[in-house]
Amino acid sequence: MMNISDQSQVEIFKNYVNNSQNIVIVPHNNPDGDALGASLGLLNTLKNMGKSVTVISPNEFPDFLNWMHGVNDVLIFDKQLLKANQLIEGSDLIVFLDFNALSRIKLMQPLFEKDTTPRVMIDHHPFPEEDTAQVQISVPEASSTCELLYHVLSLSGFKQSITKEAAECIYAGIMTDTGALNYNSSRPQTYHIVAELLEMGIDKENIHQNLFHNNSFDRMRLLGHALGVKMQRLPEQKAAYIDLSKEELHQFNFKPGDTEGFVNQALWIEGVQMSAFFTEKNNLVKISFRSRNGFPANAFSEKYFGGGGHFNAAGGESKLSLTETVERFKVVLKEFCDENGF
């Protein structure tokens, strides 16, 4: 069984759901497969229980997730402000999925700083902020929020309401957050849940086709450019990195989600224990870190780039230029490795 430190939080979640009719689900900004999979997995389950449910995403999500059941009914907050506000004001319950700080929902943050609707947070990122929700179910050991959600639904007595469509969304979230079980997936409980989802009749082959084998021509060309032209090694620090400018992204007709997984590529290189991926946005540089062999990606990101996350998967950002950010990264990585014996 998964270690949920305070089982009373699950009981409160159960009571909230049973006593609510209009429920709003919110994933983090720039939702990935785990965030959207959990949101739609919960949406389909609650709808099967007769609830009125809406997923409101802070902004758009990648096209490769468009196959999930219920995706066409997701409201995009930054495009449907009025309707989204009305639904939130009329809701009995808000469920936050795959984030543990209000800053992670960007434009929606001020709204929930004022809203008094009961809120539940279900998430697997470490160090949740106390004011995120009244009920906080946080298990950093979980491979994904989707794995944790499945466990919470089971403990709440809602497992029988998980439809095949909901199960496919939950499975998709587990696969995307573990790289198809390549990392962050050493706990037997993860595989027990995967087995139960398969028993529900999900189409595993079709899900993998949609998630991992459905790339656009432009995305593959961008990946080739990233690996063949932009990837650099730092042998002394056992690291490698890729940086992509706005011009390069435009050159390859970039769409949200096109760089998903790029940061993992360098970890396939023998001897590399840490990889970094930099993308230039309008006013900042977004950074992703991945690691193995005991290198704490979250501690490194938190110390130097205002970020955080999991031990082996973290993110951060920089307000310096792309070139300045990369140069700072090389300096502070050497400093961090020297200080910590890596």
Per-residue pLDDT of 235-248, as tens digits, reads: 999 999 999 999 99
Ranges assigned E (strand) in 227-273: 232-234, 239-244
CA distances for 254 relative to 221, 276, 323, angstroms: 10, 19, 20
Percent of the chain's residues with pLDDT above 90: 87
**Predicted local confidence at residue 6, as pLDDT:** 67
* DSSP assignment string, 75-140: EETTT-HHHHHHHHHT-SEEEEES-SSGGGGGGGHHHHHH--S-EEEEE--SS--TTS-SEEEE-T
Query: How large is the C-alpha radius of gyration of the chain?
Result: 20
Per-residue pLDDT of 40-52, as tens digits, reads: 999 999 999 999 9
* DSSP assignment string, 16-42: HHHT-SEEEEEE-SS--HHHHHHHHHH
Dist CA 62 CA 42 (whole Å): 19
**Predicted local confidence at residue 1, as pLDDT:** 46
Q: What is the DSSP letter of 149?
A: H
Per-residue pLDDT of 268-298, as tens digits, reads: 999 999 999 999 998 899 999 999 889 999 9
